Every structure is written in C-alpha cells, then in structure tokens.
A and B are shown apart, each in its own frame.
Chain A
Amino acid sequence: DTGVSQDPRHKITKRGQNVTFRCDPISEHNRLYWYRQTLGQGPEFLTYFQNEAQLEKSRLLSDRFSAERPKGSFSTLEIQRTEQGDSAMYLCASSSPGTTNYGYTFGSGTRLTVV
C-alpha cells in the first residue's frame, strides 16, 4: 500500500491552456473522489467514481472540467481553457466500501497556478 499518488505535484499554465492531472488510488479502494481546495478554504467536492462509473458531480464542475476513470483504477481530471479562477489545489481521495473501518485517504494534491 503506497497510498494515493497524484501527478504532477505542481503545474503552472497560461490562461486558456488545457491541463490534465492524474490520480492513482489505493489499489483495493473502489471509490475515488476529486476535491478542489482554494487558499484559506476547506476542500470542496467535485466528483465521485465507484469503479469506472462517475456517479456524482458537483455544480462546481463546469463544462470545462471532465474526469475519467477508464478501468476503475487511476483517474484523470482535465480542465479545458483554464481561467485564473481555476488556480487551486486539486486533491484526490480514495476510500474502501466497508463501514467498520470507514475512511478516506488523500493524496498530496496537485497545485495548479494559472497565469
């Protein structure tokens, strides 16, 4: 168990460019979540996968955002035509379905800066 991995750790991009982030969850976790955290705030839920199915999306996830989890393992989050307001830390988390030891494990995040 190597934890939840996110790549890259940091990304600086020009406004209008597309960016893609990757998350590798804990292998036995079938649930995967994306959150966004802006400076001075707590993380906000973006979207949730159970296996390869995207079951829920927040209203924060505009049409410029798309997430996939093609084989129920790693996931990608793409932002098209980035805007300065997209600058944030993007966090990925995975969880196990059991209720007796319920918990989420977060990755270290990808910090996006749009200039």
Chain B
Amino acid sequence: AQSVTQLDSQVPVFEEAPVELRCNYSSSVSVYLFWYVQYPNQGLQLLLKYLSGSTLVESINGFEAEFNKSQTSFHLRKPSVHISDTAEYFCAVTGSSGSARQLTFGSGTQLTVLP
C-alpha cells in the first residue's frame, strides 16, 4: 500500500515569484509518481509524471518536479508563477508493478497566485 502527504494545504504566492509544492510518499514497492491540477468544478488534469529514467520531469507550462528516492519526495516547482496557475494541485502515487495500479492521492495544495 502507498500513502501521500502534501505538507501544505494552502500556498499563497505573488505573481512572478517562485513556488514549491511539497509532496512526500510512503511505499514498500517501486512507484510511479504524478502531479495533477484541478480547476474549480473540473476534473483532474495531468501536469507531469515520473515513471523511470531522469529524476527531473517537466511540464509544458513551466512546472518541474524531481523524484528523490532517498527522501521519498516528489516536490513540484515553478520559477515564476502566473495568475492562471491558481488551482488545486494533487500529488499521487501508484505501484510500478501489479495489474490494478490505482492512484493514491494526497489531500491537495491550493495554490493562490496574488497580483
């Protein structure tokens, strides 16, 4: 079984400032890791994922996350945020073996970008 802890429930930040959303996971097996973004009254959109290979993964809109196995972390970063980045962000984990592979989510971090 896996679990995910998102350490900050709310992160306010000014526009054009850098941001880091923290995610730690627990698992007894190898994992795949994901970040999803959710805008109000919408479903989840995949932001980026780590499956294997390079531990630094990037999204098309400037976010990046680094898989750190020793610290069991997958923190999300962006060097300069925009108002449009305001949303709820969820970190999720699944085991990399086995057939079901349902996702286990953290409780989410509300990112609010202030003008």
Query: Chain A: residues with CB nearer than 8 A to chain B?
Result: 4, 6, 31, 33, 35, 40-45, 48, 50, 55-56, 91, 93, 95, 99-100, 102-109, 111
Contact = CB atoms under 8 A, between A and B. Distances in A.
B103 A111 contact: no
Q: Is the interface of A mostly helix, strand, loop or mixed?
A: strand
B108 A102 contact: no
Contacts of A31: 101
Given A56-B100, A102-B51, A42 B45 contact: no
Contacts of A56: 100, 102
Given A99-B51, A102-B32, A102-B51, A45 B43 contact: no
Interface string B39-54: 0011111100101000
Contacts of A109: 42-43
Contacts of A91: 43-44
Contacts of B43: 4, 6, 91, 106-109
Interface in B69-115: 90, 92, 99-108
29 contacts: A4-B43, A6-B43, A40-B107, A41-B108, A42-B90, A42-B92, A42-B106, A43-B44, A43-B105, A44-B105, A45-B104, A48-B102, A55-B99, A55-B100, A56-B100, A91-B43, A91-B44, A93-B44, A100-B51, A102-B51, A103-B46, A103-B49, A104-B34, A104-B103, A105-B46, A106-B45, A107-B43, A108-B42, A109-B43
